[in-house]
Amino acid sequence: MPSPSKITCMEDFRRLAQRRVPRMFYDYADSGSWTEGTYRSNETDFHKLKFRQRVAVDIETRTHRSSMIGIDVAMPVAIAPTGLTGMQHADGEILGAKAAEKFGIPFTLSTMSICSIEDIAAHTHKPFWFQLYVMRDRDFIERLINRAKAANCSALVLTLDLQVLGQRHKDIKNGLSTPPRPTFANLVNLATKPSWCLGMLGTKRRSFGNIVGHAKGVGDLSSLSSWTAEQFDPALSWKDIEWIKKCWGGKLILKGIMDAEDARLAVDSGADALVVSNHGGRQLDGAPSSISALPAIAHAVGKEIEVWMDGGIRSGQDVLKAIALGAKGTMIGRSFLYSLGAMGEAGVTRCLQMIANELDITMGFCGHTDIHNIDRSILLNGDIFDRR
């Protein structure tokens, strides 16, 4: 295993994670729906944007400190909510939250996490964010929100684009279900991942900590499958968002916005921020990339709501491009999972260091010293994605 200091790019982490993490869980993180076209375009569309390099500009003192919904952040990046994170590495959500807290950026815990809300609160000192999926069982949702309040979560991230589940071929082929099925092929693959297995043997957190023992009729993993199959709510509407906002009473972030009309509805809902996101290409295959959808949405809402962007970010340069096209902040999912799966907390820390360093140096090459002054003028082709 190389030292974290020898890791130079996210691809290094991806390859290490692929070697260390069991195939069914690695593929769960590193896959998209159907043809995976949208998943791939999330990354490749960033490459179409070209920087405008400037020289002989005083760039000695640079800062990429910013704020997201009024919270000071070391850089305009938050860790996105990711399901089954504790299956990429034992106690994965706890390790990710600790790394984010030490670095000075927000961490978001998923409803479908392995470690519970209470686990994260017990291992961190600063408030974190909680991501909510809307289930048919509104009583469970209300209790989940109250648990997030009790844990002193400072924002609720409401994911809107999982009313139905996009088909991911790799999950079907690997037998990844809720709970995962121990097929012969999976057991053989597990035998090749000794460090992962040792880590999982050393923790008691191997279930869905926010659900098992909390949802009605779900006392163990065997009863979880039928519950999850019927609980995601296709009837979710803006009226439900109004109810959730009232129940929560704090900062609300709406994730999964890909259309300017929906962005306007997000403004009308009174949310504090929206996240331009196609769920990492895991839901509607054939949808545009997040970065290509960003300019039109940012243009449609102006300064009425904070606009963030999630999907395909693999470097600090990607963060800078998103800021240039109108994002106030960004979120990272797979970059976080690759680094966590590869090296645990030390990997996540190194991931954040790399993103911050790339962001800082690229900003300097573009002749800027303050992240707040970044706009599309740093790009040679900033109008490549239509704003209409």
**Which residues are designated catalytic?**
279
- Nearest Cα neighbor of 321 from 272, 276, 382 is 382
Query: What pLDDT is recorded for position 2?
Result: 84
Q: Which residues of 52-67 are buried (b: 16+ CB within 10 A; e: fewer)?
A: eeeeeeebeeeebebe
Torsion of CA 174, 178, 181, 186, to 10 degrees: 40
**4-378: CATH topology:** TIM Barrel (3.20.20)
| 364 labelled ligand-binding | no
| 279 labelled ligand-binding | yes
3-state secondary structure 79-141: ECCCCCHHHCCCCHHHHHHHHHHHHCCCEEECCCCCCCHHHHHHHCCCCCEEEECCECCHHHH
| 82 labelled ligand-binding | yes
Query: What pLDDT is recorded for position 329?
Result: 98
Per-residue pLDDT tens listing for the chain (388 residues): 789 889 999 999 999 999 999 999 999 999 999 999 999 999 999 999 999 999 999 999 999 999 999 999 999 999 999 999 999 999 999 999 999 999 999 999 999 999 999 999 999 999 999 999 999 999 999 999 999 999 999 999 999 999 888 999 988 888 887 666 778 888 899 999 999 999 999 999 999 999 999 988 787 666 676 677 678 889 999 999 999 999 999 999 999 999 999 999 999 999 999 999 999 999 999 999 999 999 999 999 999 999 999 999 999 999 999 999 999 999 999 999 999 999 999 999 999 999 999 999 999 999 999 999 999 999 999 999 975 5
Other residues' Cβ atoms within 10 Å of the Cβ of residue 198: 10
Query: What pLDDT is recorded for position 388?
Result: 52
| 7 labelled ligand-binding | no
Q: What is the tens place of the pLDDT at every residue in 28-49? A: 999 999 999 999 999 999 999 9
Domain residue ranges of the chain, discontinuous segments joined by +: 4-378
CA 75 to CA 352: how far, in whole Å? Answer: 9
Sheet containing strand 251-257, strands side by side: 77-79, 329-332, 306-310, 273-276, 251-257, 155-159, 129-132, 108-109
Query: What pLDDT is recorded for position 223?
Result: 66
| 207 labelled ligand-binding | no
CA 291 to CA 40: how far, in whole Å? Answer: 12
Beta bridge partners of 379: 51
- Nearest Cα neighbor of 161 from 310, 261, 283 is 283
CA 121 to CA 209: how far, in whole Å? Answer: 13
CA 73 to CA 135: how far, in whole Å? Answer: 31
Query: What pLDDT is recorded for position 231?
Result: 85
| 317 labelled ligand-binding | no
CA 251 to CA 104: how far, in whole Å? Answer: 19
| 26 labelled ligand-binding | no
pTM: 0.96
- Strands 71-73 vs 108-109: parallel, antiparallel or unpaired: unpaired
Query: What pLDDT is recorded for position 222?
Result: 61
Query: What pLDDT is recorded for position 178?
Result: 63
Query: What pLDDT is recorded for position 208?
Result: 92
CA 159 to CA 277: how far, in whole Å? Answer: 10
